[in-house]
Amino acid sequence: MDEKPCLDMITVDLTGFCNLSCPFCLNDFPKPLDRNRKYMDEKTFEKVLTLLPLVPDGCFYLSCLFEPTLHPDLIGFIKKIPEPYGKKVCLTTNLAKVSEQVIHDLAESHINCINISIDSLEDETFKQLRTGADLYRFMKNLEKLTQYAVASDVSPDIRFITIATKLNYKEIPGLVKKCAEMFKPAGHEIRDFCIPLTKQEWGMKNKLTLSQWVSLDDELSKLPYGCTLDDHIGFFPPNRQADVESPYFREKIKGLRIHADGEVEYLGSDIFIDINRIDDPLYYFKSLIHFIEMDHRKTDELQKVAGLLIKKNITIKAEEEIEYCLDQVFFRSVTVIFMGWCFHKRNKPVNIYLVFPDNKKVKLDYSPLESPDVERSVGELGTKCRFLISVPLAHKYSPIDFEQISIEFKSG
């Protein structure tokens, strides 16, 4: 528990599908199933749990784009969460088709909170926004969850999430009031939605305008309940102080999204890593995040510092007849770049190897480049001796491992 969080959030999809087909959802469920529509397995989840120290309390989400209660061993997975870390974990559910046993066990779990999606208490609107769900069954499930939570000594907080659309935004102030009086939630969040690529006509038709958001915000501000506008909303800050004509852009979130098959996505990048292939995920991602942060600052000075730090710790071995120079070492996202030159005094090919702390040796492939500066110094042997080698970080090794490597130059 003494780890300092270095991410804003981690979202974990325990499944790759849903039991509803909401029109504002980014997923297009009528399409054929893709590779990610599966259940997360136990071994993958155990590796995912090692990342709990990376986030603050309440920022490890057991759900992202899919419905977690469809997982056949959801409760078993939750029980695997170490008790000291339970306060970091939240679960989001539509609560549409959940057994009473699962509802009871969720209320008895030691996680931080349960976020429940609720967009309307009017039957027709509910059917339009939560396609495939039944309002009566949903309300019964919600009542049971609330009853079990009240009776439990360890129950998570109950929170509500409402997606605002033109179909329901006039109802939202009344919805917040009824939910507060009936269920006593710890919070109620109103969210905007991203227009799905496959449902653009519906999205453009039902997305709130600026004036509608301002009107809704005014109405909500009059309520004596803990209701908040999510800061995903791009029109104005949630502090209600800014000029509404100036778009509000939240600071970039640092986080991971973990798919049901174990693929980890570093948000806002093109980095995808299979957690199943990593021996020590916590160590790996802590060090990876550190160097990604340096890379994202995009300054030559920091890149140079990163390279010098690595060079300082690198041990270089070379045969007597090999001349070499390691000029620079850079990290760029998940790639390590080595720049320098080498040649054999008797004009033999030179092989370059990386030797990791566990003594694993990896031969680097490269094609010698022309090097006029070296040629001027040493003659013909230096004509084509420069190397520029990009090494993708192997799943087993982190950037910190690269600070402890050895480089060997050997004749071919």
CATH number of residue 373's parent domain: 2.60.40
CA trace torsion 187, 214, 201, 132 (10° rounding): 20
* Whether residue 276 has pLDDT greater than 60: yes
* 134-146 mean pLDDT: 97
Same domain, 40 and 183: yes
Spatial separation of the C-alpha atoms in residues 259 and 278, rounded to whole Å? 15
Spatial separation of the C-alpha atoms in residues 86 and 78, rounded to whole Å? 9
SS3 266: strand
Same domain, 146 and 28: yes
* Whether residue 238 has pLDDT greater than 50: no
pLDDT of residue 298: 46
Spatial separation of the C-alpha atoms in residues 153 and 156, rounded to whole Å? 9
Residue 173 lies in a domain: yes
Name the β-bridge partners of 263.
Answer: 274
Report residue 241's pLDDT band, with 50, 70 and 90 as the boundaries.
Answer: very low
The label of the residue with tokens 């969080």 reads 5
Higher pLDDT, 194 or 404: 194
Report residue 278's pLDDT band, with 50, 70 and 90 as the boundaries.
Answer: confident
Instruction: List all residues 6 or more positions away from 209 whose beta carbon is below 8 Å from its beta carbon.
Output: none
* 132-145 mean pLDDT: 97
Spatial separation of the C-alpha atoms in residues 341 and 375, rounded to whole Å? 11
- Decide which of 244, 277, 310 is a domain's last residue: 277
pLDDT of residue 248: 35
Please tell me the number of Cα atoms within 13 Å of 302 on its side-chain side.
Answer: 12
Report residue 243's pLDDT band, with 50, 70 and 90 as the boundaries.
Answer: very low
* Whether residue 182 has pLDDT greater than 60: yes
Residue 259 lies in a domain: yes
* Whether residue 240 has pLDDT greater than 50: no
Q: Please report, for residues 231, 240, 409, the alpha-carbon distance to residue 251 in angstroms, rounded to integers and kept in the order given.
A: 10, 17, 45
* 281-288 mean pLDDT: 84
- Ramachandran angles phi, psi of 231, nearest 5°: -80, 15
Higher pLDDT, 185 or 231: 185
Q: Please report, for residues 106, 160, 227, 342, the alpha-carbon distance to residue 110 in angstroms, rounded to integers and kept in the order given.
A: 9, 18, 24, 59
Same domain, 232 and 372: no
pLDDT of residue 371: 83
* Whether residue 237 has pLDDT greater than 50: no
Please name the helix (run of DSSP H) or strand (run of DSSP E) that holds residue 385, with its range, or none. Answer: strand 384-392
Give the structural domain span for 36: 9-277
Residue 102 lies in a domain: yes
Spatial separation of the C-alpha atoms in residues 265 and 268, rounded to whole Å? 9
Instruction: List all residues 6 or more positions away from 406 whose beta carbon is below 8 Å from its beta carbon.
Output: 314, 315, 316, 317, 354, 355
CA trace torsion 97, 101, 107, 108 (10° rounding): -160
Domain count, the chain: 2
Spatial separation of the C-alpha atoms in residues 141 and 147, rounded to whole Å? 10
Q: What is the pLDDT of residues 321-357, one digit of tens each?
A: 999 988 877 766 567 788 889 999 999 999 999 888 7
* Whether residue 198 has pLDDT greater than 60: yes
Q: What is the pLDDT of residues 69-110, one digit of tens each?
A: 999 999 999 999 999 999 999 999 999 999 999 999 999 999
pLDDT of residue 246: 34
Same domain, 150 and 262: yes
SS3 316: strand
pLDDT of residue 210: 86
Same domain, 67 and 193: yes
pLDDT of residue 256: 95
Question: Are 392 and 403 a contacting pair, CB within 8 Å?
Answer: no
Residue 240 lies in a domain: yes
- The encoded tokens of residue 406 equal 């050895």
Same domain, 236 and 370: no
Residue 381 lies in a domain: yes
- Ramachandran angles phi, psi of 367, nearest 5°: -110, 120
Mean pLDDT of the chain: 84
Same domain, 160 and 86: yes
* Whether residue 306 has pLDDT greater than 50: no
pLDDT of residue 17: 87
Q: Which of 145-149, 185-189, 320-324, 380-384 has the lowest mean pLDDT?
A: 380-384
Spatial separation of the C-alpha atoms in residues 11 and 256, rounded to whole Å? 6
% pLDDT > 90, the chain = 50
Q: Residue 400: is it exposed, middle or buried by C-beta count within 10 angstroms (0-12/13-18/19+)?
A: middle
SS3 106: helix
* 381-407 mean pLDDT: 75
Instruction: List all residues 6 or more positions away from 236 whose beta carbon is below 8 Å from its beta carbon.
Output: 213, 214, 217, 242, 243, 244, 246, 248
Same domain, 196 and 92: yes
Residue 397 lies in a domain: yes
Same domain, 304 and 364: yes
* Whether residue 249 has pLDDT greater than 70: no
Shortest CA distance to 208 belongs to which of 216, 200, 196, 197? 216
Of the ranges 52-66, 234-248, 382-396, the best mean pLDDT one: 52-66
Strands, DSSP E only, in 76-186? 89-93, 113-117, 157-163
Same domain, 271 and 304: no
Q: Please report, for residues 76, 94, 116, 139, 395, the alpha-carbon distance to residue 157 in angstroms, rounded to integers and kept in the order given.
A: 20, 16, 11, 18, 37
pLDDT of residue 163: 95
Same domain, 266 and 402: no
pLDDT of residue 302: 42
Same domain, 330 and 230: no
Q: pTM of the entire structure? A: 0.75
Kindly report the number of other CB atoms within 10 A of residue 386's CB atom. Answer: 22
Spatial separation of the C-alpha atoms in residues 159 and 171, rounded to whole Å? 18
Residue 307 lies in a domain: yes
Q: What is the pLDDT of residues 160-174, one digit of tens each?
A: 999 999 999 999 999
Interstrand relation of 322-332 and 335-344 (parallel, antiparallel or unpaired): antiparallel
